[in-house]
Amino acid sequence: MKHRSISTPNKFVIIEGLLGYSTRVARDSYDVKVYLAPPEELRTKWKVKRDTQKRGYSAEQVIAELEKREPDSAQFIRPQRQWSDIVISFYPPTGEDDETNGHLNVRLVLRPSIPHPDFTQIINPGYGNSDSAIRLGLDRDMSKPVDVLEVDGHATLEQVNKLEHIICSDMPHLRSICDRESNPELGKIAGTTGETLQSYPLALTQLIITYHMLKATQIYQ
């Protein structure tokens, strides 16, 4: 007779799926709600790449399935965006529509439903300049006011260091994660030919989500 061991509860529980915010009971179960919203063209490229390389489908089969499911996506999946605390949209830089990986920009919609780091510190005389690699502004998302933080894929380490400092200095437990020497995988992504690329937009997105996960644990301490 085998004895079933009693597992220790995990500090974090991460749930992903298509209908995670579809009911009030489900929405109330999360401390942090994140919605991934790439442009549909980019999402299609990602899905075709994954399903042809890893699941044995042809590109035509994948696209046909996406078209078949589009009415359900429009009716049931995309409306859940309104319930998220953070909307993450990776997208290609202007004029680089074929870019699907390491140099993608990111647009982060930060709703006031949870307290975010004070990113207003990054506003400087260059704010609003379309050539700036980091932009912070106000907008509306699904008719509600939000802060929007954008980071270009071609941003340099020097340009993103200030953002990382804002995130990490507010949360002592994050400092070891922010240390690139002790956490070399931060923002790393596999390129199209298998090489490892560094994405600062991805690194900042990872840090912001980790920031909120650690903030949530403080509530219960």
pLDDT in tens, 135-164: 999 999 999 999 999 999 999 888 888 888
pLDDT, mean of residues 89-104: 85
Identify the DSSP state of 7: P
Half-sphere exposure of 180 (CA within 13 A, CB side): 12
Identify the DSSP state of 37: -
pLDDT in the model for residue 37: 97
Closest by CA to 105, choosing from 89, 124, 85, 122, is 89
pLDDT in the model for residue 153: 93
Cβ neighbors of 119 (< 8 A, separation 6 or more) are: 136, 147, 149, 163, 166
Whether residue 60 has pLDDT greater than 50: yes
Place of tokens 């489908």: 57
Cα 203 to Cα 161: distance, rounded to the nearest angstrom? 11
129 pLDDT tier (thresholds 50, 70, 90): very low
The residue with greater pLDDT, 217 or 70, is: 70
Cα-based distances in Å from 65 to 61, 70, 106, 170: 6, 9, 27, 45
Whether residue 131 has pLDDT greater than 70: no
The residue with greater pLDDT, 171 or 29, is: 29
> How many CB atoms lie under 10 A from the CB of residue 12?
11
Which residues lie across from 34 on neighbouring strands?
Answer: 86
pTM for the model: 0.88
% of the chain at pLDDT higher than 70: 91
Closest by CA to 32, choosing from 13, 52, 58, is 13
pLDDT in tens, 190-206: 876 778 889 999 999 99
Which H or E element spans position 134? Answer: strand 134-141
pLDDT in the model for residue 1: 42
pLDDT in the model for residue 161: 87
The residue with greater pLDDT, 206 or 221, is: 206
**H runs (alpha helix) in the chain:** 24-27, 40-54, 59-72, 157-169, 175-178, 200-219
pLDDT in the model for residue 122: 79
pLDDT in the model for residue 130: 45
pLDDT, mean of residues 70-90: 96
Contact 124, 101 (CB under 8 A): no
94 pLDDT tier (thresholds 50, 70, 90): confident
- The average confidence (pLDDT) of the chain is 87
pLDDT in the model for residue 5: 54
6 pLDDT tier (thresholds 50, 70, 90): low
